[in-house]
């Protein structure tokens, strides 16, 4: 019974620290129950407890995923929970078998497994990384430009492990008991001091072009009907016209896949006109640009369905000509493509495709982009390089870093979150976007179909579009703003997720350390 109580505590703390409850300070305690569990269980039973813990944390924290498909939620939990089981085994190995205090073993094992599940299998599932719980604490958030989100997770795991060490080591010499606490307290004070300095210090920023974010709040059911595309276009044109009457925006941003589908020829043919789709009265200034999410396609008789499709962002001039195209690089498994299907026999492949169409109503068959593309704009504010991410590409720290290393001065994220109405997904997205801004010290501009659309400054401060009742999503509207341009070269931008790689080095080093006597649990019984 005590073991189940510990597991319930681990799940409860792990869920409550994230939105929708969003009790961020619990992040400092969230991993403590795991220390208790690994001293009481071993082998397959411990792995099973960790696996169930993963199901609880991911299943409750990402319950919104079931709004798109229950299969997606179950598949994510079934696969990603394996890392929680492996984490529990690794923590027991270092803590119990190698005699390493949880103050050091907990951050090493937790960050190692967080990093692994953010990359494998496929592109990983980087949701509910523990560090994201601190997105509202701006002083702490600033250390992400040194250590990234995995460094923040390390700090929080260190906190829980230090607390465990103090409790477990009762009766030991004062130095042995309190030294880890002093080390953590010093690190936390330094992190807070660094963040306070970062917030007060000036960055070499220049104002960028004024931008207008359009949030039409199109229900997913309506958006899925091709016959509704003209009505969706009319809604965006109306909101754009109203927004431009109240602002001097030179860049209009529409969310992911909100522009009617276009043939792929528009990608390479400069001068092709689509002005018939854009009313001349919308873009009165010839320097105005439209950045819009578009589903592009190209005929290909050798492909299933006779065509290829991309989730793209198109850069239009005021006349409707296409200036540049970015194709989404990190696709959603099950939602935008079927993983590994190309390796299956033709008959099985057709059966799976037919089953997916019957279940989801469409076939996920998008093509992957080739890499970051910069959209350049020049007006009275100067020349600006925009780097674009689409949908949940914003969840990947290394991809945001890749876009900035390509030369982006401002990051723009296009998203359609109408799949998950009235859910914690909106706030979780905002937390990740705030970290992307703070990590590389770039403004992040989010244009989302249902919300949360926002301007996020290089320190991670969020200025969202709000409804008349204060709501952050689920309503149509526009938001104008001027993002700051930056060319800051942060430590994270230079060296990436070095904390996560260090965690793996230390984990492997701990695996070859000589065996030490078993640790003692809080009530004095050997393990």
The pLDDT confidence band at residue 526, using thresholds 50, 70 and 90, is very low
Sheet holding 374-379, edge to edge: 374-379, 382-390, 410-415, 443-448, 454-456, 462-464
Indicate the SS3 state at residue 31.
coil
Rounded Cα–Cα distance for residues 442 and 496 (Å):
15
Question: Percent of the chain at pLDDT above 70?
Answer: 87
pLDDT of 271? 47
Residues 186-230: pLDDT tens digits? Answer: 999 999 999 999 999 888 899 999 999 999 999 887 776 666 788
Nearest 5°: phi and psi at 178?
-100, -15
Task: For the chain, state the CA radius of gyration.
Answer: 25
The pLDDT of residue 522: 44
Domain boundaries defined on the chain: 2-201+496-511, 207-331+366-487
What would the pLDDT profile of 42-63 be if each residue is shown by its tens digit?
A: 999 999 999 999 999 999 999 9
**DSSP string of 325-339, one letter each residue:** EEE-SSPPBTTTB-T
The answer to whether 232 and 295 are in contact (CB under 8 A) is: no
pLDDT score, position 283 = 73
pLDDT digits (tens, 9 = 90+) for 63-93: 999 888 888 899 999 999 999 999 999 999 9
User: What average pLDDT does range 415-443 have in this prediction?
Assistant: 94
Residue 510 banded pLDDT, cuts 50, 70, 90: confident
Section 144-156 average pLDDT: 98
CATH of domain 207-331+366-487: 3.60.110.10
Q: Tell whether the model's pLDDT for residue 295 goes beyond 80.
A: yes
Mean pLDDT of 232-249: 90
d(CA 69, CA 395): 20
- Summarised one tens digit per residue, pLDDT across range 420-431 is 988 999 999 999
**Confidence tier at 25 by pLDDT (50, 70, 90):** very high
- The answer on pLDDT for 516 being more than 90 is no
SS percent in the chain: helix, strand, coil, step 5: 50, 15, 35
Two tokens, residue 278 = 């854009």
417-443: average pLDDT: 94
Q: Mean pLDDT check: name the lowest of 148-152, 199-203, 342-346, 467-471.
A: 342-346
Is the pTM higher than 0.75? The answer reads yes
Confidence of residue 463 (pLDDT cuts 50, 70, 90): very high
Evaluated on CA atoms 262, 267, 268, 270, the torsion sign reads positive
Mean pLDDT of the chain: 88
Question: How much is the average pLDDT of 176-182?
Answer: 89
pLDDT value at position 202?
84
Supply the pLDDT for residue 524. 37
Separation CA 131–CA 129 (nearest Å) = 6
Residue 264's pLDDT is: 77
């Amino acid at each position: 019974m005590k073991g189940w109580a510990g597991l319930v505590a681990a799940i409860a703390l792990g869920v409550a620290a994230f939105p929708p409850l969003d009790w961020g300070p619990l992040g400092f305690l969230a991993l403590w129950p795991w220390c208790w569990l690994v001293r009481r269980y071993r082998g397959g039973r411990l792995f099973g407890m960790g696996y169930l813990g993963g199901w609880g944390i991911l299943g409750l924290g990402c319950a919104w995923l079931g709004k798109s498909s229950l299969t997606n939620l179950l598949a994510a939990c079934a696969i990603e929970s394996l890392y929680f089981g492996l984490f529990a085994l690794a923590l027991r190995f270092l803590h119990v078998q190698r005699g390493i205090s949880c103050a050091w073993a907990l951050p090493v094992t937790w960050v190692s497994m967080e990093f692994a599940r953010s990359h494998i299998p496929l592109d990983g599932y980087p949701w509910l990384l523990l560090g994201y719980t601190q997105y509202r604490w701006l002083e702490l958030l600033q250390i992400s430009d040194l250590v990234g989100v995995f460094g923040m997770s390390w700090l929080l795991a260190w906190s829980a492990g230090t607390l465990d060490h103090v409790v477990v080591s009762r009766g030991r010499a004062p130095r042995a008991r309190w030294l880890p606490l002093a080390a953590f307290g010093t690190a936390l004070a330094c992190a807070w001091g660094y963040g306070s300095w970062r917030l007060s210090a000036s960055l070499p920023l220049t104002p960028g072009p004024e931008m207008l974010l359009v949030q039409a709040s199109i229900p997913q059911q309506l958006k899925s009907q091709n016959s509704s595309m003209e009505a969706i276009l009319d809604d965006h044109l109306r909101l754009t016209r109203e927004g431009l009457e109240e602002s001097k925006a030179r860049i209009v941003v529409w969310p992911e896949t909100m522009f009617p589908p276009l043939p792929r020829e528009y990608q390479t043919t400069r001068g092709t006109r689509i002005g018939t789709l854009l009313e001349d009265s919308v873009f009165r200034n010839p320097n105005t640009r439209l950045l819009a999410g578009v589903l592009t396609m190209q005929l290909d008789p050798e492909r299933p369905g006779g065509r290829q499709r991309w989730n793209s962002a198109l850069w239009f001039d005021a006349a409707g000509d296409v200036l540049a195209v970015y194709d989404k690089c990190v696709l959603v498994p099950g939602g935008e493509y079927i993983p590994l299907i190309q390796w299956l026999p033709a008959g099985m492949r057709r059966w799976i495709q037919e089953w997916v169409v019957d279940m989801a109503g469409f076939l996920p068959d998008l093509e992957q982009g080739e890499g970051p593309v910069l959209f350049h704009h020049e007006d009275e504010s100067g020349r600006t390089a925009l780097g674009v991410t689409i949908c949940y590409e914003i969840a990947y720290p290394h991809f945001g870093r890749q876009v900035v290393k390509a030369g982006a001065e401002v990051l723009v994220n296009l998203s359609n979150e109408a799949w998950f109405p009235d859910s914690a997904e909106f706030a979780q997205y905002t937390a990740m976007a705030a970290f992307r801004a703070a990590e590389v010290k770039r403004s992040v501009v989010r244009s989302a179909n249902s919300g949360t659309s926002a301007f996020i400054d290089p320190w991670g401060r969020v200025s969202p579009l709000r409804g008349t009742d204060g709501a952050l999503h689920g309503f149509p509207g526009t938001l104008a703003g001027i993002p700051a341009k930056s060319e800051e070269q942060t430590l994270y931008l230079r060296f990436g997720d070095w904390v996560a790689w260090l965690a793996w080095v230390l984990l492997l080093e701990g695996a070859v350390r000589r065996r030490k006597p078993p640790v003692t649990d809080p009530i004095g019984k050997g393990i």
